[in-house]
Amino acid sequence: MNNTTGAYIRKLVITGALGSLAIFLGITRLGFFPWISGATITILHIPAILGAVLEGPFVGAGIGAIFGVFSLLQANIAPVTPIDVAFRNPLVSVLPRVLFPLVAWGAYALIARWRKLPAAAFGAIVGTIAHTALVLGMLIATAGSGALTGGEPPANVWPILGVIFVANGIPEAIAAAVLTVLVVVALRGAGSVGRKSKLSKE
């Protein structure tokens, strides 16, 4: 097996493993945590960020696609809240999940040349913010602002968007940064980062 084939197989394995982790966290509800004011924060997007940081944009997008398809199926088979109905549209459930790991990778790549750990944290924060913004944006674009309330569109949806962004996006970004850095540190400590991920490249 040549190096190119081995690298390709490794990327497929990592994509499948981290994609399966996102599905596991969703099915078991272990990826959701109650938060202030009744909001729920999620870490389901973090495997896609890890894939992008460790193995590049295509792996991250692949994991994001798995996450998005799971979200699409869940919304159609077993919706939990009224807003889940909006996720039956793949433009809401799938497209943002494919795109945000690309943003995370781009943010990481901007400063990875100088500092790997701060770059991983920065990529996780920017990627999480992009995920929240893209999902909210597609909800508005495809389902109307009523999708955010489960009923008729309010007179002014922007305050609602702001509350959701602050209540969900910020704590999710912090959680993503912490967990991403911990994983990177653990991989470095195990001596595998230098051999198996793009964090090792110059």
CATH code for position 182: 1.10.1760.20
Round to the nearest angstrom and report the end-to-end CA distance of the chain: 25
Within a 10 A sphere around the Cβ of 95, how many other Cβ atoms? 18
Which residue, among 33, 57, 23, 14, has the nearest Cα to 175 in the 3D structure? 33
Which band of pLDDT confidence, cut at 50, 70 and 90, is reported for residue 156? low
Kindly report the pTM of this predicted structure: 0.83
Cβ-Cβ contacts under 8 Å for 80 (sequence gap 6 or more): 74
Which residue segment(s) compose the domain that 186 sits in?
A: 3-200
Instruction: Report yes or no: 148 and 83 within 8 Å, Cβ to Cβ.
Output: yes
What gap in Å lies between CA 102 and CA 119, rounded to an integer?
A: 14
Within a 10 A sphere around the Cβ of 199, how many other Cβ atoms? 19
Three-state SS for 180? helix
Q: What is the pLDDT of residue 192?
A: 45
Q: What is the pLDDT of residue 137?
A: 87
- Backbone φ and ψ for 42, nearest 5 degrees, come out as -130, 150
Q: Which helix (H) or strand (E) holds 153?
A: none
What gap in Å lies between CA 5 and CA 60, rounded to an integer?
A: 19
Q: What is the pLDDT of residue 84?
A: 79
Tally the domains of the chain. Answer: 1
Which residue, among 141, 137, 144, has the nearest Cα to 169 in the 3D structure? 137
User: pLDDT digit string (tens) for 119-148?
Assistant: 999 999 999 999 999 998 888 887 665 555
